[in-house]
Copies of this chain bind each other. A is one copy, B any other.
Amino acid sequence: MKRICLLLTFALGMTASYPQSGYRLWLDYKPLNEPLSDQYRTHIRTLVFPVNSETDRVAKQELLLALDGLLGYQPELTDRIEGSGALVIGTPASLPLLDDVREAQGALPKHDEAYAIRSIAGDNTPMTVIIGNTDRGVLYGVYAFISLLQRSQDISMLALAEAPKVQLRVLNHWDNLDRTVERGYAGFSLWDWHRLPGYRDPRYTDYARANASIGINGTVLNNVNANALMLTPAYLEKAATLADIFRPYGIKVYLSARFSAPVDLGGLEDADPLNPAVQQWWSEKVAEIYRYIPDFGGFLVKANSEGQPGPQNYGRNHADGANLLAEALKPHGGVVMWRAFVYEDTEPEDRAKQAYNEFKPLDGKFHDNVIVQVKNGPIDFQPREPFHPLFGAMPHSQLMMEFQLTQEYLGFATNLVYLGTLFSETLRADTYCYGANSTVARVIDGSMNKQPMTAIAGVANTGTATNWTGHPFAQSNWYAYGRLAWNPDADAGTIAEDWLRRTFGNDGSLIDALLPMMMRSRETAVNYMTPLGLHHLMGWDHHYGPGPWITDKMRADWTSVYYHKASKDGIGFDRTVSGSDALSQYVPEVRAQFEDPQTCPDEYLLWFHHLPWDFNMKSGSTLWAALCHHYYHGAEEVADMQAVWAAQQDKVDHIIFQEVTDLLAIQREEARRWRDACVLYFQQFSDMPIPDGLESPEHPLEYYEQQQFHFVPGI
């Protein structure tokens, strides 16, 4: 047993650069200085953990690493359960079936990935059992146990049992083969394609550890705007190496498939899904992929959207396209995740209606290994959107959720915006499709329509940044996504607190200060970006900063004016029956919430209504005044965040403290820019003064319109 002790001293108020903060994410096992450490030592005296697989091996390794870091010792390793304080870990098959173990087994849900953690009094031999039906369940149980220790929880009377509510919990990497990342703000792609398959970057393993620790069990390696090269032997061999590294952590590899691959690679004349040669090509290609990756997860496909090829190129529909690939994958157990984020080639009356219009008629037409991937809202990952009307609207199809972790429309990696609340808001929204309490979560977890396959996707926010996500707090969005993917009903506040404790330790005053800041942060961003249901106001193309003035692009629905429709007569997109009638895509109970501007919640007011500037808000003020107050309040809230953070100086690592201090200062500037640009822009139409007591914008509107940003990342 080799032991290396690194002593790091932050001496005399001088800062030391070690460790490089953030790389270890929420798995930085710093020593606990807690009263419970003694309890932990008595309950983790010996360890019985039979290793029968690579998954067992990595789970045991993680546990020992955690114990050593958190508690500073290693338990005695043994293969016999005797004496008190045994930690017993395994499956019913791997463990001796003592009565105690059977008791734990009895608590275990019937699910491949389930685990139970039980404190068992025993006959003079109190012990703790972590049991799973499979080694993957054991792995999740081990991570859950580590989390208990990190959060200083009492482990003397544990009775936990958990199974994931969603089967396929995947990250979508919009990573290109040249290592750029579309909408990536944390550096570049983690995948060093050039040096794969030979060079196995140690970071791949740490990526797998982080994902496994929050229950993510799949990853789509390449961008949905896919390059067909990904499906060639050279790249499949590379992907196979990643799959080999991820496999012990319970993570399957998926690939984005370019629909025209039979033409691009196979030399066929078309990629028509009804062409037998095309079907044959995919069948052979899929068989080839499974030779490289025996447990390959399947394909993610973006087709007939933003210029990507698809079945409509050949007069077929999305079901034809998805089923083509599904048939090829079926014999191997693979699935197709088919995105519903589509465009017609022609300009729509209301882009918000498109996915529903195209997919609703196809309900029931998809094969049973196809699942339709629907973004959380009907436009495109805006700071706030109502839930997507497809949720609940396709009872005979399998639907999955697509969230975006990378902050494309939420300030990139410079804005502190905790997305747990955004995700949860959508998941808890009630579609009423099957009566009250038909929440989006219940659609996604399959409990509404009994769909056999369930899935959820998050567009990853990871990159080559040392701390993975660019902004230290953006780690919490990766974390929250994993936790909500496992349990869409989980509480965003609990998740945020868990993340804070695992990241910054268990100082109560720090949690009390930072938790409310995180929980408020998304509403803050909505306020200074797109309050009152406004949306799609961002800068052209790169989506950085405000651009309410964006007009005259290739398509009207790529401009801002299309969405806010500000004019002398008012602002907002009328989606009621008097307008685009997008509201009709929701069931009556939902429509009733939104269709009357007098009762529509402020959060969605201008999403559904076009209203005059002097519209009388529920608060009594005019719409114009309310709009201004939201923008100004949002910017002020960032100043509040700065003050909250500044007070934590002595409680967090000095490097992270400085990083977040820097980033909040940037965020404050960005919030002011959003505020001033939008207020000045809309004021042209309202012709009303900025309400008393609010400071004047620093610059005239032209200044903001003329700001140029070069080499904005993520494109």
Q: Which parts of A52-106 form the interface with B (CB within 8 Å)? A: 57, 60-61, 64-65, 68-69, 72, 74, 77
Whether A206 contacts B20 by the Cβ 8 Å rule is yes
Cβ of A436 under 8 Å from chain B: no
* A68 neighbours in B (Cβ, 8 Å): 7-9, 11, 16
Whether B9 contacts A64 by the Cβ 8 Å rule is yes
- As a 0/1 sequence over residues 431 to 457 of chain A, the CB contacts with chain B under 8 angstroms (1 = contact) are 000000000000000000000000000
- Residue in A9, A178, A710 whose Cβ sees the most chain B Cβ within 10 Å: A9
Complex Cα distance A287/B143, Å?
A: 58
Whether B209 contacts A17 by the Cβ 8 Å rule is yes
Cβ of A166 under 8 Å from chain B: no
Cβ of A177 under 8 Å from chain B: yes
Whether A10 contacts B4 by the Cβ 8 Å rule is yes
Complex Cα distance A203/B14, Å?
A: 18
Complex Cα distance A72/B6, Å?
A: 8
Whether A5 contacts B2 by the Cβ 8 Å rule is no
Whether A200 contacts B658 by the Cβ 8 Å rule is yes
Complex Cα distance A192/B194, Å?
A: 23
Whether A194 contacts B8 by the Cβ 8 Å rule is no
Given contacts A8-B6, A188-B188, A198-B669, contact A466 B203 (CB under 8 A): yes
Cβ of A164 under 8 Å from chain B: no
Q: Which parts of A179-204 form the interface with B (CB within 8 Å)? A: 179, 187-188, 192-195, 198-203
Name A61's contact: one of B15, B29, B188, B710 (CB within 8 Å): B15
CB distance from A605 to the nearest CB of B (A): 33
Question: Closest B-chain residue to A9, C-beta based?
Answer: B68
Interface-forming stretch among A364-372, A392-400, A492-500, A659-667? A659-667
Question: Closest B-chain residue to A414, C-beta based?
Answer: B195
Whether B7 contacts A8 by the Cβ 8 Å rule is no
* A156 neighbours in B (Cβ, 8 Å): none
Whether A9 contacts B177 by the Cβ 8 Å rule is no
Cβ of A314 under 8 Å from chain B: no
CB distance from A376 to the nearest CB of B (A): 26
Cβ of A3 under 8 Å from chain B: yes
Whether B198 contacts A663 by the Cβ 8 Å rule is yes
Cβ of A701 under 8 Å from chain B: no
Whether A713 contacts B194 by the Cβ 8 Å rule is yes
Complex Cα distance A711/B195, Å?
A: 11
Question: Closest B-chain residue to A467, C-beta based?
Answer: B202
Whether A23 contacts B24 by the Cβ 8 Å rule is no
Cβ of A19 under 8 Å from chain B: yes
Cβ of A163 under 8 Å from chain B: no
Given contacts A464-B187, A713-B179, contact A31 B9 (CB under 8 A): no
Chain A to chain B contacts (Cβ below 8 Å), 24 pairs: A2-B9, A3-B9, A4-B8, A4-B9, A4-B10, A6-B31, A7-B68, A17-B205, A18-B65, A20-B23, A20-B206, A21-B202, A23-B23, A178-B711, A179-B187, A187-B464, A195-B413, A195-B666, A198-B662, A199-B663, A200-B662, A203-B466, A229-B710, A234-B710
